[in-house]
Amino acid sequence: MLTVEEVMSRNLVTLKEEDDLVRGDDLLAVNNIRHLPVVKDGKLVGLVSHRDLIRAMARHERAPGAPPVMVKDIMTRGVETLKPRSAVREAIHKMLDNKFGCLPVVEDGGQLVGIITETDIIRLAGRLLDSGGRGT
């Protein structure tokens, strides 16, 4: 059985609840990614996607002197997660069934250890096809 920990991204770029949206937008652009887990003391507390940032920035026009919009105000809480030993097949089904672009990977206690994204799954498919899998 192929496990999530064999496929997931481990070099995580994360946000904190008290970060503002500009920081999130900068991190997405600099790292060429679309999802930012939000952590507190290393534990997953939420998720911000590129789509979340675009929506929030469009809705919260900044007037001069207005306070910045914070990550905690727009992040998705109660995020669906996987364990490192979960089957990749489970990740694929969860992502397809729920139209998720990613799933954070956590150890017991909520410690964030990775993230599996659509890109990770496509990369896996490419490796499998290159190694003799059938397909064109």
What are the strands, taking DSSP E only, across the chain? 35-40, 43-49, 102-106, 112-117
| Percent with pLDDT over 70 in the chain | 93
DSSP, residue by residue, 61-117: ---TTPPPPBHHHHPBPS---B-TTSBHHHHHHHHHHHT-SEEEEE-TTSBEEEEEE
Strands 102-106 and 112-117, sheet pairing: antiparallel
What's the pLDDT score for residue 49?
96
21-35: pLDDT as tens digits? 999 999 999 999 999
pLDDT at 95 over 60: yes
More confident position, 63 or 83: 83
What's the pLDDT score for residue 135?
46
CB atoms within 10 A of CB 20: 15
pLDDT at 13 over 70: yes
Q: What is the pTM of this model?
A: 0.89
- 136 pLDDT band, cuts 50/70/90, is very low
- Cβ distance 92 to 82 under 8 Å? no
- 114 pLDDT band, cuts 50/70/90, is very high
| Percent with pLDDT over 90 in the chain | 82
What's the pLDDT score for residue 67?
81
